[in-house]
């Protein structure tokens, strides 16, 4: 355990005690530096020659002229901000329209829009659990789901990744307790898909609700991008709730919860991150609504994103890299270790390619990776260029497969 300096109760050596109030952060900074875990903000310019495969703009909509114009038009009409919480002044007719069309597109009864996907997940887990209840959470779930479990009043049991049998065993050990099973639909590190059909069967056998974060599936999986739950035949089921973000496939900002109308009504009345948070800005709502309508009109976008992911995977593995087979639009390439992963990502950036870098402790399995986004708007030439840069900068031990843990 780190040792932090005691908070001074009186001046020592003439030093103002106010100056020592946050001395403990210096200790924490030194520990991060020793562990190689210092994070740094890197502001980007509005225009860049960097080929971006690090963000989550899966369908390439963030800069589509019709999307940016819709966002600008919403700001001009409704104002720069929502002006208050959704229950006071923060709900506009634009919010209502987006919620109605999100629900219809995804195949659910109703939807509720939040200021972010993070707050949507916190809302779902804290408002849909009870004090004597149980939440069963996949070990690889996103941090927002983990934090939702921590804030919920229910007991949380973490089970091995993508293991319906472990979920069944856990639920069976707690008979009669109100229970939720929570999982990502597509996991953000390796891009693998959760066994949603099997999880639903387990939930129904034990009377549990299923909450699925479809952040990385919505817009990419299912018919025309309607999401992983739609693809699994679970959309609109009375015991299933979906959360998602508007900042990935929809290229905007914000989050949403989709589910039965009575569940959405409950969130309006009980979810603290809805009740006490300022509503999503109209520009983000307008951009997301325009993107949703564009996806509905161009269903080939979802198929193209999956096609690009499969192409990247084939080229990487064909060249001897170890890459997880993508189930959606996330392509993960393993690195020999955390420092090599950092250097690899930095070298790619120097060559004009932006990629993500995942390493411990952010990855629970201890394996460092490069993470690339397969965008629907990537050309074949850009795909070839990206693969070429990754291979040219690959550290020793990366080619021919690295399967050992860091």
Could you tell me what percentage of the chain is helix, strand and coil, using 3-state DSSP and rounding each to the nearest 5?
Answer: 40, 15, 45
Calculate what percentage of the chain has a pLDDT beyond 90: 83
pLDDT for 373: 94
pLDDT for 328: 96
pLDDT for 405: 35
Strand 369-373 with 353-358, pairing:
antiparallel
pLDDT for 41: 79
Q: Which of 56, 8, 26 is nearest to 375 (CA)?
A: 56
Taking only the tens place, the pLDDT of each residue in 351-371 is 999 999 988 877 767 789 999
Taking only the tens place, the pLDDT of each residue in 232-253 is 999 999 999 999 999 999 999 9
What is the distance between the terminal CA atoms of the chain, rounded to a whole angstrom? 22
Confidence of residue 404 (pLDDT cuts 50, 70, 90): very low
Confidence of residue 8 (pLDDT cuts 50, 70, 90): very low
pLDDT for 12: 56
Pick 113 or 366 by higher pLDDT.
113
CA distance 141 to 160: 10
pLDDT for 276: 98
**Per the structure block, which two tokens stand in for 274?**
């809805």
Q: Which of 120, 121, 96 is nearest to 110 (CA)?
A: 96
Pick 46 or 87 by higher pLDDT.
87
Taking only the tens place, the pLDDT of each residue in 372-386 is 999 999 999 999 999
The answer to whether residue 185 scores a pLDDT higher than 70 is yes
Backbone angles phi, psi at 383, to 5 degrees: -60, -45
**For range 217-226, the mean pLDDT:** 97
Q: Please report, for residues 179, 187, 333, 375, 401, the alpha-carbon distance to residue 317 in angstroms, rounded to integers and kept in the order given.
A: 41, 20, 9, 19, 9
pLDDT for 203: 98
Give the list of residues 6+ apart from residue 104 with CB closer than 8 angstroms, or none: none
The answer to whether residue 161 scores a pLDDT higher than 80 is yes
């Amino acid at each position: 355990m780190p040792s932090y300096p005691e908070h001074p109760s009186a001046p020592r050596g003439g030093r103002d005690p106010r100056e020592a109030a946050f001395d403990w952060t210096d200790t924490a900074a030194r520990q991060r530096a020793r562990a190689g875990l210092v994070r740094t903000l890197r502001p980007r310019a509005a225009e860049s020659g960097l080929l971006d495969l690090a963000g989550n703009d899966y369908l390439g909509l963030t800069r589509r002229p019709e999307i940016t114009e819709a966002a600008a038009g919403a700001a001009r009409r409704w104002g720069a901000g929502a002006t208050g919480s959704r229950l006071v002044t923060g709900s506009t007719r634009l919010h209502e329209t987006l919620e109605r069309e999100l629900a219809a597109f995804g195949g659910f009864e109703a939807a509720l829009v939040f200021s972010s996907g993070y707050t949507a997940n916190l809302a779902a887990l804290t408002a849909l659990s009870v004090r004597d209840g149980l939440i069963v959470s996949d070990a690889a779930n996103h941090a927002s789901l983990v934090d939702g479990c921590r804030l919920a009043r229910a007991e949380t049991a973490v089970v091995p990744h993508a293991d319906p049998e472990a979920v069944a065993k856990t639920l069976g050990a707690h008979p009669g307790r109100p229970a939720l099973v929570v999982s990502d639909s597509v996991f953000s590190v390796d891009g693998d898909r959760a066994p949603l059909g099997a999880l639903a069967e387990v939930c129904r056998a034990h009377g549990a609700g299923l909450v699925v974060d479809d952040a990385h599936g919505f817009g990419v999986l299912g018919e025309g991008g309607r999401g992983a739950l739609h693809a699994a035949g679970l959309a609109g089921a009375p015991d299933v709730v979906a959360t998602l973000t508007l900042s990935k496939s929809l290229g905007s900002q914000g989050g949403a919860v989709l589910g039965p109308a009575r569940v959405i009504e409950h969130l309006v009345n009980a979810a603290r991150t809805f009740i006490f948070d300022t509503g999503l800005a109209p520009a983000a709502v307008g951009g997301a609504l325009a993107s949703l309508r564009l996806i509905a009109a161009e269903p080939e976008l979802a198929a193209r994103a999956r096609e690009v992911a499969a192409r990247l995977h084939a080229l990487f593995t064909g060249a001897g890299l170890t890459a997880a087979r993508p189930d959606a639009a996330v392509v993960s390439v393993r690195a020999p270790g955390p420092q090599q992963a950092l250097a690899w990502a930095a070298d790619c950036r120097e060559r004009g390619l932006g990629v993500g870098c995942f390493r411990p402790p952010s990855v629970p399995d201890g394996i460092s990776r490069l993470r690339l986004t397969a965008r629907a708007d990537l050309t074949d030439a850009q795909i070839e260029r990206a693969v070429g840069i990754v291979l040219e900068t690959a550290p020793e031990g990366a080619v021919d497969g690295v399967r050992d843990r860091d």
